[in-house]
């Protein structure tokens, strides 16, 4: 299918070959092999309708490193506050910019934007399922550290019910052969049935537990996520699970020496700072790979490589 003009809505839409091409270019950019005016004259529109630190800033840094300009649309200060529709907002940004990046709390917003816009749309996270570019970064990080994306035992720990980063990562890593997924969470935060159905359909090998200790010795990767407080329909339900899990050095006892800990960040209280200075820490590597990977993504979609 190729990358040029392609929308990036869900990690499910990308094949291993697509991802290989992206990762190859990311490797080159990571080594500094790029021209800093490759995207000169292009204007990238960031439409963020929900808080973001890394995703928004890293897209902006990625665009600027390649010479593009970035417009930041912030819902709070826009005509959305006067009642302008999302339809008109996307229409405007489609006219003003060359590529649109969308984040929203509502599932389907990026797909809706891509139906309206002629320009390519990248989903920077919408709702509880899709955050494709985060999943691409997660996969790239594992490939860099472990040298492979298959034959891995992968634990995903935390809010698997509401976390789009966790769900997209699972949909990404299960594309590759011979991986075993351990979905570890408090009972209230287990994978949703629709996700389990999806995993069964694709023949993924997954196992659910609420006890990290039971599986820690098997794992090559432990992907930790925060509880998605803002997505709970009932705040009382959040209070019941708040603080119910935390990864620290003690919880990693008995693990393999090669185990790495990933986290899409932000962390709140589920990941101890004591992991930061160990060999297991891979979350700041995810952050740093986010720049070359998003640079590669922009170049491929804008057809400049």
Name the minimum Å distance from CB 129 to ligand NCD. 10
Residue owning tokens 């699970």:
241
**103, 164, 175, 294: which one is catalytic?**
103
Which residue stretch of 92-100, 145-153, 233-241, 262-270 sits at the interface with ligand NCD (rule: CB under 6 A)?
262-270
By CB under 6 A, the residues from 186 to 205 that bind ligand NCD are none
Angle (CA) 231-235-238 rounded to 5° is 75
55 labelled catalytic: yes
| Integer Cα distance of 296 and 305 in angstroms | 9
For residue 213, count CB atoms less than 10 angstroms from its CB and return exposed for 0-12, middle for 13-18, buried for 19 or more. exposed
Which residue stretch of 143-151, 184-192, 206-214, 261-269 sits at the interface with ligand NCD (rule: CB under 6 A)?
261-269
Nearer to ligand NCD, 65 or 131 (CB): 131
The footprint of ligand NCD on this chain (CB under 6 A) covers a number of residues equal to 12
Name the minimum Å distance from CB 82 to ligand NCD. 27
| Integer Cα distance of 67 and 300 in angstroms | 15
Letters for 122-151 (x = contact with ligand NCD by CB under 6 A, - = none) are ---x-----x--x-----------------
Binding of residue 227 to ligand NCD (CB under 6 A): no
Binding of residue 6 to ligand NCD (CB under 6 A): no
| Integer Cα distance of 122 and 146 in angstroms | 28
Which tokens is 150 given?
Answer: 């298959």
131 labelled catalytic: yes
Bridge partners (DSSP) listed for residue 180: 153, 205
CA atoms lying within 13 Å on the CB side of residue 91? 5
Binding of residue 264 to ligand NCD (CB under 6 A): yes
CA atoms lying within 13 Å on the CB side of residue 141? 29
Report residue 288 CA to chain centroid gap. 14
By CB under 6 A, the residues from 31 to 60 that bind ligand NCD are 54-55
**26, 55, 97, 109: which one is catalytic?**
55
Residue owning tokens 């000169």:
40
Report, as residue numbers or ranges, the catalytic residues.
54-55, 82, 103, 131
What residues line the site for ligand NCD (CB under 6 A)?
Answer: 54-55, 125, 131, 134, 164-165, 225-226, 264-266
């Amino acid at each position: 299918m190729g990358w040029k003009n392609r929308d990036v809505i869900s990690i499910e839409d990308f094949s291993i070959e697509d991802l290989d091409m992206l990762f190859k270019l990311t490797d080159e950019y990571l080594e500094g092999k790029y021209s800093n005016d490759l995207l000169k004259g292009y204007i990238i529109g960031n439409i963020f309708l929900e808080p973001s630190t890394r995703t928004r800033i890293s897209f902006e840094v990625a665009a600027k490193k390649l010479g593009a300009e970035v417009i930041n649309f912030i819902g709070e200060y826009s005509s959305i506050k006067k009642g302008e529709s999302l339809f008109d907002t996307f229409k405007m940004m489609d006219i003003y910019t060359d590529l649109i990046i969308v984040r929203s709390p509502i599932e389907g917003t990026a797909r809706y934007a891509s139906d309206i816009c002629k320009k390519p749309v990248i989903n920077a996270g919408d709702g509880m399922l899709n955050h494709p570019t985060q999943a691409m970064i997660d996969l790239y990080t594992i490939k860099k550290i472990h040298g492979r994306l298959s034959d891995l035992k992968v634990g995903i720990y935390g809010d698997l019910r509401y976390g789009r980063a966790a769900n997209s990562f699972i949909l990404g890593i299960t594309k590759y052969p011979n991986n075993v997924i351990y979905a570890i969470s408090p009972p209230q935060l287990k994978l949703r049935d629709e996700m389990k159905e999806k995993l069964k359909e694709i023949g993924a090998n997954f196992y659910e537990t609420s006890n990290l200790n039971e599986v820690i010795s098997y794992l090559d990767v432990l992907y930790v996520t925060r509880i998605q407080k803002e997505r709970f329909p009932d705040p009382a339900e959040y209070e019941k699970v708040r603080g119910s899990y935390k990864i620290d050095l003690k919880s990693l006892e008995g693990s393999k020496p090669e185990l790495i800990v990933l986290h899409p960040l932000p962390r709140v209280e589920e990941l101890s700072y004591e992991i930061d200075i160990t060999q297991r820490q891979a979350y700041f590597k995810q952050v740093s790979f986010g720049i070359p990977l998003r640079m590669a993504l922009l170049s491929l979609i804008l057809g400049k490589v």
